[in-house]
Amino acid sequence: MSGADQVTWDPERIRKTTGRPDVVVVLTPGRAVDCNTHWMGDPDFLVEIQSPVDQTDEQIPFYSPIGVQELLISERDTHRLQLYRHDGRERAPVQVSEYQGGKWLLRAIVPLAFRRKALRSDPVTEVQRSDRTPGNWII
């Protein structure tokens, strides 16, 4: 791989140009390499928490060239979820799937499923493992 082909995951550059993702998932083994000061390569999954005043939609195009495989956007107040997956050409929205009797956004890279749920009339995000391993969280 030539120097021009390498992608550097530089948190300082991200902070200056787009802000920071709220959650970064790098699998082991994975495509990204920990260089102690930054990651080089492609993170597997990002989560952005969108507030009414932030510009998360403007950040989506930034993540395609650095090879992010999946991006989950959760609106802070409504807990509305949007999952984007790189299909080999571009980042495309993932449709809701039937999973365990409900409508879920299923991740392909990390075995997790997400859905918006009303709990005591307040919206929350439910996260569940999708690999038959116990694990269920409300956030």
8 Å CB contact between 73 and 91: no
Type of residue numbered 48: E
Residue 9's nearest CA partner among 50, 58, 43, 49 is: 43
The pTM assigned to this predicted structure is 0.72
The Cα–Cα gap between 103 and 11 comes to: 34
Q: What is the mean pLDDT of residues 34-55?
A: 82
pLDDT band per the 50, 70, 90 thresholds, residue 11:
low
**Count of the separate structural domains present in the chain:** 1
Over the chain, what is the mean pLDDT? 77
pLDDT tens digit sequence for 64-116: 777 788 888 888 888 788 888 887 777 788 887 767 667 888 888 788 888 88
The Cα–Cα gap between 79 and 81 comes to: 6
Domain span holding position 30: 3-138
Sort residue 41 into left (φ over 0), alpha (ψ -120 to 50) or beta: left
pLDDT for residue 2: 39
Residue 96 structure tokens:
């809701």
Helix then strand then coil, in percent of the chain rounded to 5, is 15, 40, 45
Residue 2 structure tokens:
């030539």
pLDDT for residue 19: 52
pLDDT for residue 5: 42
pLDDT for residue 6: 46
Q: CA separation (Å) from 12 to 37, 80, 105? A: 10, 29, 31
The Cα–Cα gap between 116 and 45 comes to: 19
The Cα–Cα gap between 117 and 80 comes to: 9
Residue 3 in this model has a pLDDT that exceeds 60 = no
Residue 4 in this model has a pLDDT that exceeds 50 = no
Residue 99's nearest CA partner among 132, 56, 50 is: 132
